[in-house]
Amino acid sequence: MKKRRIGVIYGGRSGEHEVSLASAAAVIANLDPARYEAVAIRIEKDGRWTLPDRPPTATSAGEVIAHSRLESSRALRTGREALLVPHPCEETLLTLDRTRPGDEAAENARVTGLGLDAVFPVLHGPYGEDGTVQGLLELADVPYVGAGVLASAVGMDKAVMKALFAAHGLPNVDHLVVIDHQWRANRAAIASEVAKRLGYPVFVKPANLGSSVGITKAKRPGDLEAAVEAAAQFDRKVIVEAAVPDAREIECSVIGNDHPEASVPGEIKPSREFYDYDAKYLDESPVEIPAPLTEAETDQVRHLAIAAFQAIDASGMARVDFLLSGTTGRLYLNEINTIPGFTTISMFAKLWAASGLQYPALLDRLVELAFERHAQKHHRRSTTDG
Determine the length of the chain: 386
Which residues, at least 6 apart from 182, have a Cβ–Cβ distance to it below 8 Å?
A: 190
Distances (CA, A) of 193 to 197, 211, 242, 369: 6, 28, 12, 45
Fold of 175-242: Dna Ligase; domain 1 (3.30.1490)
Between 3.40.50.20, 3.40.50.300, 3.30.750.24, 3.30.2350.10, what CATH number should domain 4-144 receive?
3.40.50.20
- Please give the C-alpha separations between residue 171 and each of 189, 193, 334, 343, 358, in angstroms, as whole numbers: 27, 21, 9, 29, 31
Parts of the chain belonging to CATH 3.40.50.20: 4-144
Sign, CA torsion 153/159/160/165: positive
Cα distances from 215 to residues 132, 205, 226, 241, in angstroms, run: 24, 4, 11, 11
DSSP-derived letter for residue 197 is I
Can you give the pLDDT at residue 272? 55
Domain with CATH 3.30.470.20 in the chain: 155-171+245-376
What pLDDT score was predicted for residue 80?
A: 87
User: For the whole model, what pTM was predicted?
Assistant: 0.88
The alpha carbons of the chain give a radius of gyration, in whole angstroms, of 21
Q: Which DSSP symbol is given to 318?
A: E
Per-residue pLDDT tens digits of the chain, which is 386 residues long: 789 999 999 999 887 888 899 999 999 999 999 999 999 999 999 999 999 988 888 555 555 555 444 454 444 445 689 999 999 999 999 988 765 555 555 556 688 899 999 999 999 988 999 999 999 999 999 999 999 999 999 999 999 999 999 999 999 999 999 999 999 999 999 999 999 999 999 999 999 876 567 899 999 999 999 999 999 998 999 999 999 999 999 999 999 999 999 999 999 987 655 544 454 544 467 899 999 999 999 999 999 999 999 999 999 999 999 999 999 999 999 999 999 999 888 999 999 999 999 999 999 999 999 999 999 988 766 555 55
Beta bridge partners of 7: 39, 119
Residue of 345, 305, 338 lying closest to 321 (CA atoms): 305
Domain 155-171+245-376 superfamily per CATH = ATP-grasp fold, B domain (3.30.470.20)
CA nearest to 82, candidates 115, 122, 51, 38: 51
Every domain range in the chain assigned CATH 3.30.1490.20: 175-242
Ramachandran quadrant class, 367 (left: phi over 0; alpha: psi -120 to 50; beta: rest): alpha
In Å, how far are 4, 37, 116, 364 from 34, measured between CA atoms?
A: 9, 8, 17, 12
Amino acid 255: pLDDT: 98
What local confidence, expressed as pLDDT, does residue 69 receive? 45
